[in-house]
Chains A and B, each alone.
Chain A
Amino acid sequence: MESLLRQLKTLRNTRPDPRFMARSRQELLRAPHHGSAGRFYYSQIKWRFFEGLSFSVAVGLAALLVYLSAGLISRGVQTKVAQDEPRPNFSISLEEAEYYKEVAPNIFVVVLGDKK
């Protein structure tokens, strides 16, 4: 057992190549660093907040655009209808009323009132 333990201790002589260590160290220290856990979480929260905010603003603007577009379209349609169609004339001449008297007694009463 003692011999085995001595042999195991000699495995401590295993060492990395100094060139590897130098190269690895240089690359590591150039890598991005997040710092303390607090700073890391703060940066994540800040990033997520602004990302969410920009998304909400984008959705709101899109909804406003759709609403304005729908409003403009419907107003345009109404204007066109008003221009194209003449104002209806509901006045009826007495001659027409006499005719309608025979055909539609109820209408005669409504239009001319009580002329008896």
Chain B
Amino acid sequence: MENEIKLIKQARKGQAESFGLLYDHYCPKIYRFISLKINGKEEAEDLTHEVFLSAWQNIGNYNDRGYPFSSWLYQIARNRVIDHYRTRKETTSVDAVDEASFRVAPALDSALDGRTELERIKKAITSLNEDQQTIIILRYIEELTPAEIASIFNKSEGAIRLIQHRSINKLREILEENHGEFT
């Protein structure tokens, strides 16, 4: 982000509007990251708000180590999602949903096919372990570099690349088991 360092310095001095500009730029990324890991739009919104609230209140603890501000935000978001799963259990079971409620008119089928496919991929992502989910999302969706991801995990780039390779293969296997389309 342009002038990111300047905005961060101003935010640390208490200039709320500077933090607001950082929020405008990074909120969609953090929201996307969280919503791909948990179910529920409202829960994703709540957690996103909590991440930025924590960032605003603790921006004095942010150290610029040559990585974007987003790496720090992703770290907060990742920890917040882990805490979310520790304190709450998923109460909605897909198996409990009545399939008849999803029948739609044939004209809408093709439009929904794409969305259904994305939902299938999202579900496959959530069936990976936490590290694998995070790396898939950050590497292939948010397009962070392995070095940036390594700073979030406090691991080496080599370790990240290894997990990345295993994660994408695992994801492909899950999707092939369910559909056989991705080969």
Contact A35 B175 (CB under 8 A): no
A29 interface contact, C-beta 8 A: yes
Contacting chain B: which of A6-14, A70-78, A79-87, A100-108?
A6-14
Which B residues touch A21, using CB under 8 A?
24, 27
Chain A binding surface SS class: helix
Contacting chain B: which of A37-45, A46-54, A59-67, A89-97?
A37-45
A34 interface contact, C-beta 8 A: yes
Contact with A along B33-76 (1 / 0, CB 8 A): 00110000100110011001100111111000000000000000
What's the count of A-B pairs with C-beta under 8 Å? 98
- The interface on chain B, measured as residues whose beta carbon lies within 8 A of the other chain's beta carbons, has a size of 42
Known: A8-B136, A14-B32, A16-B31. A35 touches B13 (CB 8 A): yes
The chain A residues found within 8 Å of chain B, CB to CB, are: 1, 3-5, 7-12, 14-17, 20-21, 24-25, 27-29, 31-40
Known: A16-B28, A31-B57. A8 touches B141 (CB 8 A): yes
Chain B binding surface SS class: helix
Which A residues touch B20, using CB under 8 A?
25, 28-29
Across the interface, name the chain B residue whose C-beta is closest to A19: B45
B159 interface contact, C-beta 8 A: no
B80 interface contact, C-beta 8 A: no
Contact B60 A35 (CB under 8 A): yes
The chain B residues found within 8 Å of chain A, CB to CB, are: 12-14, 16-17, 19-20, 23-24, 27-28, 31-32, 35-36, 41, 44-45, 48-49, 52-53, 56-61, 117-118, 121-122, 136, 140-142, 168, 171-172, 175, 181-182
Contact B53 A37 (CB under 8 A): no
Which A residues touch B59, using CB under 8 A?
33, 35
Across the interface, name the chain B residue whose C-beta is closest to A26: B20
Cβ 8 A contact of B121, one of A7, A12, A16, A27: A7
